[in-house]
Structure 1
């Protein structure tokens, strides 16, 4: 295959690792190393979740963090870990509550840290200025990225599936 388009992913449902690495390498960027299956399984067991298939496959066959939209992808351990569980036990295993965009009128008087607005999700990239890209792990929106602008304008906005979001970025890089 000489060129790669997002539609190829939709049909094949596999990561074209060499094409991804080639495109990000041309930009002088690097992906983190792939994770062994036992590391991903241990993460899932420790936090009582099953990672969305496209993200899990990305970790296993493409890389753990590195080149990606905005400031790059966070590694799995940076995205979520023991500190998060100490702060809010079963945070990741608790279903994410939203399926459509929410704004200040819904968020209202919620306290970001105490009311669990983003339970069931983990940060996969930082947009900047207090905004993040979250991957929903549990709930009806599992597998989708959400744009967390709670620290800026009190909004949460749904995005596409993790793979589509990442491949849109890869394809936009030429």
Structure 2
């Protein structure tokens, strides 16, 4: 089903690596255009059983054919086993990945985060609630945008298969990803190939 798109992606990955030997593209110094090993179907099914989810078919196809992390948007693709945690680089709190994602439209709180009339303990309680895993349930983190912002694949709920941004670190809530200029919501392979296309065009422009 995804054979032709995966082959295009493979060719573009080879092209971008050759085009950027100095690793000038944003994030390239981090991922070095290297991919983590592909997964087997057995490993995918074991992961799904452990977290009580079903990975979108397009993402499964990528894991089976291209790799399980590494080269990708921003600072690169997260490995699935790392994307289940609530905070990047801190394996001390799990996201509620097994619960349905609660949003179909952009979500945020109407809060004046600069309101100095609240006491410190009020702010602490508010922030604790804002970062409650219930708001990000059903999200598998797949990429680090930087500044505390993450890109996520929805693996459970009404927005299943879409890429969403978690921008709570900047008080901007959680919303469908449009960072690459896409007006429509994207699934994993279309999102990843769009990044490749934009990156190749950026490198071509740098050469001119």
User: Does the TM-score normalized on the shorter chain lie above 0.5?
Assistant: yes
**Match runs of 1:1-174 below 5 Å:** 14-16=5-7, 17-26=9-18, 27-28=20-21, 29-80=33-84, 87=93, 91-105=96-110, 109=126, 111-114=129-132, 116-159=134-177, 160-174=186-200
Return 5+ residue gaps in structure 2 as ranges.
Answer: 22-32, 114-125, 178-185, 201-208
Q: Give the total of aligned pairs.
A: 161
Give the greater-gyration-radius structure (CA): 2
Q: 1:77: how far off?
A: 1.3
Taking structure 1 as the reference length, the TM-score comes to 0.80
| CA positional deviation for 1:103 | 2.7
SS at 2:152 equivalent: strand
Output one character per residue of 1:34-69: Cα deviation in whole Å (capped at 9) or x when no partner: 111111110001111110111111111111110111
**Cα distance, 1:13 vs structure 2:** 6.4
* Contact persistence 2:131–2:168 (CA under 8 A): no
Alpha-carbon distance between aligned partners in 2 of 1:150 and 1:37, rounded to the nearest angstrom: 34
Taking structure 1 as reference, are residues 67 and 24 closer, same or farther at Cα in structure 2, changes over 3 Å only?
farther
Q: Quick one: distance in 1 between partners of 2:10 and 2:164? A: 27
Q: Distance in 2 between matches of 1:119 and 1:85?
A: 17
Task: Give TM-score, length-normalised by structure 2.
Answer: 0.68
C-alpha separation between the residues in 1 aligned to 2:172 and 2:197? 30
Could you say what the CA RMSD is over the residues aligned between the two structures, in angstroms?
2.7
Q: CA deviation at 1:113?
A: 3.8
